[in-house]
Amino acid sequence: MYARQLTTISITGALSVAALLLTVTPMTQAQATSSTTAGQARAGAAADQPPSHQVPVTEQRAVNRLDHAKIVRQSKPLALPTPRPLPAKATAPRSGADGPAVTVRGTEPSTTTSSLSTRTVTTARAATDVTGALWPGVATANPNRQVGKLYFDTDPSPTRTAWNHCTATAINSENKSTVLTAGHCVWDITNRRWYSQLWFYPGYENGARLGAWQVRQMSTTSNYYNYGTSADDMAVVVVNRDSAGVSLVNRVGGQGVAFNQPVGVMRTSLGYPKTDSRWPGWTSAGEDLYYCQGRDTYYSSGSLAGQMVLSCRMTGGASGGPWLSNVPSTWLGTVTSVNSNKGWVGSQGAPWMFGPYMGAQELAVFQAYRAF
C-alpha cells in the first residue's frame, strides 16, 4: 500500500548537546521521588512513588512455558482507547517547564554480546509529512531491533485468557532492562487491574526475531492509574535477562529517552497498526513496522490538554509505540512520547495520533525504575 521510503530527521537546537550527553547516574528511591519537585505544583502531579506491580515469580516462570508462537497467531491488537481529559482542577504541564529536563541518550548493543546488523537508513529530507508508511529498515538494525510487540492477557478471569498486544521500545537506563509503552498497555482502568503474563518481543517483523523477554515489574503514572488520563498514558516495564544472563539493552541496544522537552518539533512515530473499522482509510495486517513523521502540535488547554498530536493514520496495535526526536543517521534518537489515542472515533480522528507530553509524572515513573 505504501512505498518504503524514509527521512532522516535532524533537529537543530531541539535538544541541547549538553542534554544529549547527560551522564546516567544511579539514583536511590528518595532521589528518584524528589527529582520531580518542580512539577509538584501542577494539580495531579507525580506522587512520591508511582503505582506499580511486581510480577510474581511463579507468573514469570509460567510465561516462559507458554506456547508463544500460538499466542502470537491468536493475539489481537489492544484497541486504542477513547481519550480521557485531565482530572478536575488539574492543569496541563507547561512544555519544557513541568520539572527538570532529563535526557538519557541511546546506546548500541554490547559488542561482546551482539552480532546484529549495523545497517542504517538515510535519505534526503522529505518535503511533506509521512502519515503512515512501511518502515524500510531490517528487524536487526536500529530502530527496529529496539521496537517490538508487548504481549499480555487482558481477561480478568483466572480461568480464561484473552491475548492482546501493543507496541513497546527498549530504552537505555542503568538496569539495561527497561521497556517504554503506553499506560493502557499495562493497566486496565475499567477493571482496575494490571494485565498479566507479559512478555516483550523486540525486533518483531512477521514474527519474533530477537527472543522473548519476560516482564518482572510494571509501572504507570498516578494520573493514568487513578483516572485513565490520556495526557499521562505512559508506562514502563522491566524485563528479566535472557537465558545467557544478558540484559535486553546489551543484547539489542536501547533508544534514548527524554522528559520535559520543547514541543513543536519533528518526530517519528513507530508501531504495528492493524486495520480498525472505527477509523476508515487504513489497511495493514499489523505484522510489520510502520511509521509516521511530522511536527507535533501541543494542546495546553481544553479536553485534549497535556497531549501532543501528529498527522498519522496508524491504528490499534500501534499503541505504546515510540515518538522519536533528535534522530541521527544511526537511528538512536530520544523517545519523547508514545502512541496513545486517535482523539475521536470515525473519519474525524482517522488522520491523527495523540501522545502524552512526558513531564513530571512520566519522569517519576522512569526515575523510580531506571535502576530497578
- 89 or 285, higher pLDDT: 285
Of 193, 189, 186, 187, the residue nearest 151 (C-alpha): 186
What pLDDT shows up at residue 89?
87
User: Taking residues 192-206, what's their average pLDDT?
Assistant: 97
Does residue 2 fall inside a structural domain? no
Sequence-distant (≥ 6) Cβ neighbours of residue 101 within 8 angstroms: 19, 258, 259, 260, 261
What pLDDT shows up at residue 144?
96
For 163-176, the pLDDT digits (tens) are 999 999 999 999 99
Does residue 11 fall inside a structural domain? no
Instruction: Give the distance, in angstroms, between the CA of residue 34 and the centroid of all CA atoms in the same chain.
Output: 24
What pLDDT shows up at residue 158?
83
d(C-alpha 223, C-alpha 167), whole Å: 21
Does residue 106 fall inside a structural domain? yes
Does residue 62 fall inside a structural domain? yes
Between the two ends of the chain, the Cα-to-Cα distance in Å is 42
Q: Assess whether pLDDT exceeds 70 at residue 156.
A: yes
Q: Assess whether pLDDT exceeds 90 at residue 270.
A: yes
Of 271, 97, 64, 58, the residue nearest 182 (C-alpha): 271
pLDDT class of 47 with cuts at 50, 70, 90:
very low
Does residue 186 fall inside a structural domain? yes
Query: Which range of residues forms the domain containing residue 77?
Result: 17-369
Global pTM value = 0.87
For 312-371, the pLDDT digits (tens) are 999 999 999 999 999 999 999 999 999 999 999 999 999 999 999 999 999 999 999 999
Q: Assess whether pLDDT exceeds 80 at residue 19.
A: no
Q: What is the largest CA-CA distance in the chain?
A: 54
Domain count, the chain: 1
The grid coordinates listed for 242 are 535472557
Q: Assess whether pLDDT exceeds 70 at residue 17.
A: no
Region of poorest pLDDT, from 31-35, 70-74, 225-229, 280-284:
31-35
What pLDDT shows up at residue 128?
61
Backbone angles phi, psi at 134, to 5 degrees: -65, 135
The mean pLDDT of the chain is 86
Does residue 217 fall inside a structural domain? yes
d(C-alpha 42, C-alpha 274), whole Å: 36
Does residue 38 fall inside a structural domain? yes
Does residue 3 fall inside a structural domain? no
Residue type, 258: A
pLDDT class of 129 with cuts at 50, 70, 90:
confident
